[in-house]
Structure 1
Amino acid sequence: MIAMQLSDPGPVTTDRLTLAHIDEIAPGPDQVLIDIEACAMCRTDLQIATGDVPSHRLPLTPGHQVIGRIRAVGSAIDRARIGTRVGLAWIANACGECRFCLDGRENLCYRAAFTGWDVDGGYAQQVVAESRFAFDLAPLQDRSSQSIAPLMCAGVIGYRALRIAELGAASSGARLGLYGYGASARQVLQMARHWGVDVYVATRSDQEAQSALEAGAVWAGSYTDRPPAPLDAAITFAPVGSIVAEAVKSLDRGGIVAINAIHLDELPAMNYDDLWWERSIRSVANVTSQDVGEFIELAAQIDLKTDYELLDLEDANEGLRRIESGSVRGSFVLRPPGR
């Protein structure tokens, strides 16, 4: 099979991914081998490629929004799974024994592994994964693999960010601010509107602001504009510390800012008065298998839309450069040869 592999992180003005020919890997006892049909690209992939997020192993096949069909299974896995269409998300494994795992917080497990960071991911024709983290996509059976792929990180992590912000089906009438309007924020807006939440969007782009209004936001402005009403919660997507500070200033008493980023530059000094009245800042760290399962059901229920552009697998370097420059609407989805 072929894969696009990272060996030398650095500026993506130079191609960081190289085409590699790899022998097919036999799955271990608890694993499955997946023929990949689509893999969406993510800003985290860019941050790993540039070295902003340090690599856990090299060479590495990036990609953690993977859709494919199970080709082979390990000795401990029911062969009935062969042929099943599954999705891989950011979480690839966890110990299952620590206090975090036993409490349903496997995203915090010290021995957790993550797709396209600790283990090879989906910028390839095939991938091996732990069977219990290869998620059944039956609720989305009528959707194409290309349209589902951007759900597996942008959507799932957006769903977890909403949970961290303490918003859900019982939050009708709440006010939510989205700081940034990329692939994840677009999906968060749809989920929040489904729950009856009023959404306020801050973005650097007039075009994105208009797109947010057309998608149902009640207000859209710049990062430094103050929303016309105090927010019960805000989610920041841009990896910029100053935006977190702006979001805090827009909170109502008791409000929460959830930082939806694996990497963030330095947080600026903040006035304690902006944080007082039990306002809080929380990070969103990874996802759990429960998050993924619940999100897949919700995405099917509300027919969650994804904006994406198809790229051939061999064009992954160009995709990284365009993500860095901001010249993408929604997500890029990589298409392996023959798909």
Structure 2
Amino acid sequence: MAIDGTSQAGGWAVGTPGPAEGGPLVRVDRQAGDPGPGELLVEVEACGVCRTDLHLAEGDLTPHRPATVPGHEIVGRVLAVGQGVTGHAPGDRVGGAWLRGTCGTCRYCLFGRENLCPYSRYTGWDADGGFAERTLLPADYVYPLPPDADPAQLAPLLCAGIIGYRALRRSDLPAGGRLGLYGFGGSAHLAAQVALAEGATVHVLTRSPAARDLALSLGAASAGDAYDAPPEPLDAAVLFAPVGDLVPVALAALDRGGTLAVAGIHLTDIPPLNYQRHLFQERTLRSVTSNTRQDGADFLSTAARIALRATVTPYPLDAAPRALADLAADRVNGAAVLLP
């Protein structure tokens, strides 16, 4: 099976979207091609399994093209560079992330808000991603990565980490503030480490007992069920779980002037809000949309400075359907990573 514009071999694509347990991923064997202008051909060393991949596979996100190879937390080595590429050479280690391209000329791009570009493109949605042995990445949208670090440790940083970092900033957490994290998977357990390193008190609310244990081991002040009230009012909160029912729960937990940032690309319907209980006293509800390249650079710099450590559940590339099903069933502690 071959699709124009791909450079994958021995990977997985989304066939007919449906429940992860039903096997929406199908094997593909695609011939690797040469990189085009501005592209890098990359041999994949590791690829994180993000909840966005799950949303695409299960049909929560409408596919942008048929039989797309998912995966946008890509760590790999450059095999070849396309025409016009500077700053990259064969053998370099790079990271491919969710944001794959923007127009560079719209009002959002010109004013530092390229995450809102109406012409933006995404790895694993608009073009094939990293659930494969090789992939093509746009040179202007990859990140240089440490050459000797464990690739499984680096992979979750490239979306879970970057998006969690942007969500944390969107929550307007004050210095030394009280932060609530709703859901505690790949993204939240990285954002928690950033917040803790910056002096925040972190309270975790999640349905998974294993995730609660992980939160406490990382230094969270408390860990309860997703629908529990935290032990103190929150200055800020981030909703990582794609569950709209938790929006009023998290808003009710905010102190006066607090902000709730919703981190996911997909959320089930939000139930009616009560103005007095959920929004009055200047509580704020805001969304998070993708990230800018500057977000990525800032987060990766922060991760190196604080020696951030991902909790990783590794899977061989052949087990990608199982990794996706485990993520759907909350059987992954921390982040799932495929290792070709």
With the shorter chain as reference, the TM-score category is over 0.9
Provide the residue aligned with 1:279 in structure 2: 283
Three-state SS of the structure 2 residue aligned to 1:247 is: helix
Residues of 1 paired with 2:94 and 2:216: CA distance?
Answer: 34
Residue 254 of structure 2: aligned partner: 251
C-alpha separation in 2, matches of 1:4 and 1:316? 8
Letter in 1 for 2:125: W
> Which one-letter code corresponds to 1:23 in the other structure?
Q
2:172 paired residue number: 166
Q: How many residues are matched? A: 331
1:111 to 2:119 alignment: yes
Secondary structure of the residue aligned to 1:248 is helix
Instruction: Summarize deviations over 1:187-217 as a string: whole Å, max 9, x none.
Output: 1110000000111111113332233122111
Mapping of residues 54-65 of structure 1, within 5 Å: 54-65=62-73
Asked if residue 321 in structure 1 is aligned to residue 325 in structure 2, the reply is: yes
Deviations 1:103-128, CA, capped at 9 Å, x for gaps: 11111101000110111100011111
Cα distance in 2 between the residues matched to 1:207 and 1:334:
21
Distance 1:122 1:63 in 2: 4
State TM-score, norm by structure 2: 0.94
TM-align CA RMSD = 1.3
Consecutive unaligned residues in structure 2, runs of 5 or more: 1-8
Given that residues 30 and 76 in structure 1 are in contact (C-alpha distance below 8 angstroms), is that contact kept between their aligned partners in structure 2? Answer: yes
1:335 to 2:339 alignment: yes
Residue 189 (structure 2) aligned to one of 183, 186, 190: 186
**Cα deviation 1:208-256 (Å, max 9, x = unaligned):** 2233122111122222322222111100011111111100001111111
Q: Give the aligned partner of residue 143 of structure 1.
A: 149
Residues 213, 80 of structure 1: alpha-carbon distance in 2 compared, 3 angstrom cutoff: closer
Runs of 5+ consecutive residues of structure 1 not aligned to the other structure: none
1:297 aligns with 2:301: yes
Among 227, 232, 241, which residue is 1:229 paired with? 232
Identical pairs, percent: 44
Q: 1:211 to 1:312 in 2, by over 3 A?
A: closer
**Maintained 8 Å contact 2:208/2:330:** no
Residue 80 of structure 1 and its aligned partner are, at CA, apart by 4.8
Q: Which residue of 2 aligns with 1:3?
A: 11
| Secondary structure at 1:81 match in 2 | coil
In 1, are the aligned partners of 2:212 and 2:224 still within 8 Å (CA)?
A: yes
| Residue of 26, 39, 45 corresponding to 2:53 | 45
Report the counterpart of residue 13 of structure 1 in structure 2: 21
TM superposition shift of 1:14: 2.4
Contact 1:161 1:235 (8 Å CA) reproduced? yes
Q: Kindly state the Cα deviation for residue 142 of structure 1 after the two structures are TM-superposed.
A: 4.1
Conserved 8 A contact 1:149-1:333:
yes
Question: Aligned equivalents of 1:44 and 1:296: distance in 2?
Answer: 20
Indicate conservation of the 8 Å contact 1:73/1:79, yes or no.
Answer: no
